[in-house]
A and B are shown apart, each in its own frame.
Chain A
């Protein structure tokens, strides 16, 4: 019938007969060949598993730089009285050494480079899981504080060794549902997600290597001169720039404040210095700051706004429109620390618990 319909045609003389399996003689070779391939695949898989474990172990052994900070967080070795949290602006603006000196309290900076509020909350939760809760959380505010991560996290390789942390994994899974592959498939996270070759650091760390220290109580000073990034930004955006206020971003900020409220952690929201020309370029700045004020009213967390500070006015304090250089960070940290020490609420004797010897 199929032949009549023209769909099939009778087999020709030269076409192989259907034998339902391999020919004799070939039958015995196939299982042997398949077994060899399977064995080789097993060897590769085993190597991948071992290498993955070696890299992860190595990264967890590093004492310095950004991985050193991560390890101190998850090993519960910080336990600071004052904790600074936020994005790269937190990381490069707040020097805990100066804050410690002025306030007499221990301080640590867990600012996360290239992060939005969702990943900052995850890092804070991880900190609280392993460390004593701080007396005061200083949360740095940004124009993009009400935005969540889209299109992938910055430097995803830094998280691979810490995917067992529930808060980190949950936050990453919200951003990229495929993050389970990094947990389950050996080397996937270091291969598929990491462009910075963290796996090399991990392999070397396994044998005791540590990168040069560039984080000081979590603070990372930037010894850079002003770059041309802002001029390019202005040229590309003559009408100004706008930072969207996302509902999920607002929700993340509220989650952070609620978390602190539930744990009786005082919160101070700080809008650290921003180069004033950038302030003028942002078209919806008033709306963003109005949202900051709303948070203050709802959660009782004061906002200290350094937008109009002398530090913000001087280009010499910045290496780009959003980030203070080392000198600018020192000036700002001094201002902040003195204000903290003098604050009637935040600087009250009952808040002080001098334990400077614990900070390292």
Chain B
């Protein structure tokens, strides 16, 4: 079930109402059943795959807590391998097979792959990581094994964050299923407002920009440099608004029910360095990789070489997590290279800035740092979005070629969409800039009821009328 669908608009109020009406002992079960309904709206049979990973990790958690010595290590290994095997089969099997066939072809061996079709279960990468997080934390002794199967299953399947995160830690989410959450008007309306903001980002901005990006990136050779540049910048905002919009809806809907999920984005395009960008972008995934891959590999504790190697491995895996394509792996490695280069050149850059009078904290320096970070990020997005490495290279090398201001629109993205797209991005940036300085909610709350409701109603109607409702799922669903 998509968040941006009529079905969800009916599903969520019913689920929320029943949640508050039901006695406490039935609420978690109700959330589990609702989450099953939510998930089965995609491909019903795939709930069996989810059930399998839940049973594996629930059982592993119970035995891990009781086991000692090497048995604990073996149990953890079995659980991790079994869980990852499910992910491998559905997500990476054909990627590996095709690469083996390609590699064999270099030696003149003609191999052929199996003629079956495997459809990736939606959200597999997300709930797999959430399950892994649980068993690892139990292994480390930082989380007690959950004895209640219904509670554990709901922790994995909690519908607001089931298919695209935020990837929660058991320490944050599990105990909340034991807390009593009552209907609180202020909290519920705060959650609804968060959801509304998420819908605005997704429907008005992300799905509108997608019309342009999809046309250009499908056949980049048919478009001029201006269109390629616009499509790349648009994609940067598309993926941000799509994913952060989803996170807002997830966090908001959980908030309505009384649950607090972790924040997943913190204005990433306001970052001044790549390092800062990764502290602001997809925070739940970044911290997952930091805690379970980067730090165990050594992180920055064992010298520069180990540090750089850890970065390359972590970001390479991160790229692969996003998709079974070399373009994603390249994107991940490119970001690692950015971080390595940034680390190596830090002193040199500081000296260079000093020489031209751009001392730390000056607006000029901040502007240069922001622009260069955004540029490097966009270059990375080219590889992330392009269908092939060849397409990505073509786009990168043709961004500045053949600009034609009379040829801006595409088949799907008529010129009339441009003012709305620009206005949407502008509104997004204004709101984000104001967020640190003023509380928009507080200002609105001070208005009398009628004008306050008029503002909220107008915002909802405007989102509906300016939104794009073509059957577009969230980008991160495919991961």
| Residues of chain A at the chain B interface (Cβ within 8 Å) | 6-9, 15-16, 18-23, 26, 29-30, 32-34, 36-37, 40, 43-44, 47-48, 51, 181, 185, 187-188, 190-193, 195-197, 199, 232
Q: List 17 A-B contacts (CB under 8 A).
A: A6-B62, A7-B149, A9-B147, A16-B179, A18-B23, A18-B24, A18-B25, A19-B23, A19-B180, A22-B20, A23-B180, A30-B20, A48-B464, A51-B461, A185-B6, A191-B467, A232-B222
Given contacts A6-B62, A188-B6, contact A40 B453 (CB under 8 A): yes
Given contacts A187-B464, A191-B464, contact A22 B62 (CB under 8 A): no
- The smallest C-beta distance from B192 to any residue of chain A, in angstroms, reads 8
Q: Once bound together, how far apart are the Cα atoms of A190 and B453, in whole Å?
A: 23
Q: In the complex, what residues of A have CB within 8 A of residue B469's CB?
A: 191-193
- The smallest C-beta distance from A204 to any residue of chain B, in angstroms, reads 14
Q: Can you name 13 extra interface pairs (CB under 8 A) apart from A19-B23, A40-B453?
A: A16-B180, A18-B23, A18-B24, A20-B24, A21-B23, A29-B185, A34-B183, A36-B185, A51-B461, A188-B6, A190-B465, A193-B469, A195-B211
Q: In the complex, what residues of A have CB within 8 A of residue B20's CB?
A: 22, 30
B453 CB contact (under 8 Å) in A9, A43, A192: A43
Given contacts A20-B23, A47-B457, A190-B465, contact A37 B148 (CB under 8 A): no
- The smallest C-beta distance from A316 to any residue of chain B, in angstroms, reads 22
Q: Once bound together, how far apart are the Cα atoms of A349 and B478, in whole Å?
A: 67
Does B84 touch A at the CB level, under 8 Å? no
Given contacts A6-B62, A16-B178, contact A191 B465 (CB under 8 A): yes
CB-CB nearest in chain A for B203: A191
CB-CB nearest in chain A for B148: A8
- The smallest C-beta distance from A170 to any residue of chain B, in angstroms, reads 22
Report yes or no: A187 in contact with B182, Cβ–Cβ below 8 A. no
A199 CB contact (under 8 Å) in B25, B222, B465: B465
Does B393 touch A at the CB level, under 8 Å? no
CB-CB nearest in chain B for A30: B183
Report yes or no: B147 in contact with A8, Cβ–Cβ below 8 A. yes
B183 CB contact (under 8 Å) in A33, A188, A191, A192: A33
Given contacts A9-B147, A40-B453, contact A32 B185 (CB under 8 A): yes
Does B312 touch A at the CB level, under 8 Å? no
Q: Once bound together, how far apart are the Cα atoms of A196 and B178, in whole Å?
A: 49
- The smallest C-beta distance from B202 to any residue of chain A, in angstroms, reads 14
Does B70 touch A at the CB level, under 8 Å? no
Q: Once bound together, how far apart are the Cα atoms of A181 and B9, in whole Å?
A: 13
Q: Once bound together, how far apart are the Cα atoms of A15 and B179, in whole Å?
A: 7
- 6 smallest beta-carbon distances between A and B, as pairs: A33-B185, A192-B469, A9-B147, A30-B183, A20-B23, A16-B180
Does B386 touch A at the CB level, under 8 Å? no
Report yes or no: B147 in contact with A7, Cβ–Cβ below 8 A. yes
- The smallest C-beta distance from A52 to any residue of chain B, in angstroms, reads 10
- The smallest C-beta distance from B440 to any residue of chain A, in angstroms, reads 18
A196 CB contact (under 8 Å) in B148, B185, B416, B460: B416
Q: In the complex, what residues of B have CB within 8 A of residue A19's CB?
A: 23-24, 180
Q: In the complex, what residues of A have CB within 8 A of residue B360's CB?
A: none
Report yes or no: A37 in contact with B178, Cβ–Cβ below 8 A. no
Does B468 touch A at the CB level, under 8 Å? yes
Q: Once bound together, how far apart are the Cα atoms of A34 and B182, in whole Å?
A: 12
Does B90 touch A at the CB level, under 8 Å? no
Interface centre among B6, B184, B464 (most CB of A within 10 A): B464
A22 CB contact (under 8 Å) in B25, B182, B416, B456: B182
Q: Once bound together, how far apart are the Cα atoms of A148 and B412, in whole Å?
A: 21
Report yes or no: A197 in contact with B23, Cβ–Cβ below 8 A. no
Q: Once bound together, how far apart are the Cα atoms of A102 and B468, in whole Å?
A: 47
Q: In the complex, what residues of B have CB within 8 A of residue A232's CB?
A: 222
Does B188 touch A at the CB level, under 8 Å? yes
Interface string of B182-204 (1 = CB under 8 A from A): 11110011001000000000000
- The smallest C-beta distance from A47 to any residue of chain B, in angstroms, reads 6
- The smallest C-beta distance from A48 to any residue of chain B, in angstroms, reads 7
Interface string of B443-479 (1 = CB under 8 A from A): 0000000000100110011001101111000000000
- The smallest C-beta distance from A155 to any residue of chain B, in angstroms, reads 11
Q: Once bound together, how far apart are the Cα atoms of A26 and B180, in whole Å?
A: 12
Q: In the complex, what residues of B have CB within 8 A of residue A16's CB?
A: 24, 178-180
Report yes or no: A37 in contact with B6, Cβ–Cβ below 8 A. no
Report yes or no: B23 in contact with A195, Cβ–Cβ below 8 A. no
Given contacts A20-B24, A196-B416, contact A15 B178 (CB under 8 A): yes
CB-CB nearest in chain A for B412: A195
- The smallest C-beta distance from A295 to any residue of chain B, in angstroms, reads 32
Q: Once bound together, how far apart are the Cα atoms of A188 and B464, in whole Å?
A: 8
Q: In the complex, what residues of A have CB within 8 A of residue B149's CB?
A: 7
CB-CB nearest in chain B for A26: B182
Q: In the complex, what residues of A have CB within 8 A of residue B453's CB?
A: 40, 43
Report yes or no: A197 in contact with B416, Cβ–Cβ below 8 A. yes
Q: Once bound together, how far apart are the Cα atoms of A19 and B26, in whole Å?
A: 11
- The smallest C-beta distance from B240 to any residue of chain A, in angstroms, reads 22
Q: Once bound together, how far apart are the Cα atoms of A111 and B179, in whole Å?
A: 64
B148 CB contact (under 8 Å) in A9, A185, A190, A193: A9
Q: In the complex, what residues of A have CB within 8 A of residue B192's CB?
A: 37
Q: In the complex, what residues of B have CB within 8 A of residue A40's CB?
A: 453, 456-457
A44 CB contact (under 8 Å) in B148, B222, B457: B457
Interface string of B166-185 (1 = CB under 8 A from A): 00000000000011101111
Q: In the complex, what residues of A have CB within 8 A of residue B468's CB?
A: 195
Q: In the complex, what residues of A have CB within 8 A of residue B465's CB?
A: 187, 190-191, 199
Q: Once bound together, how far apart are the Cα atoms of A43 and B25, in whole Å?
A: 35
Q: In the complex, what residues of A have CB within 8 A of residue B412's CB?
A: 195
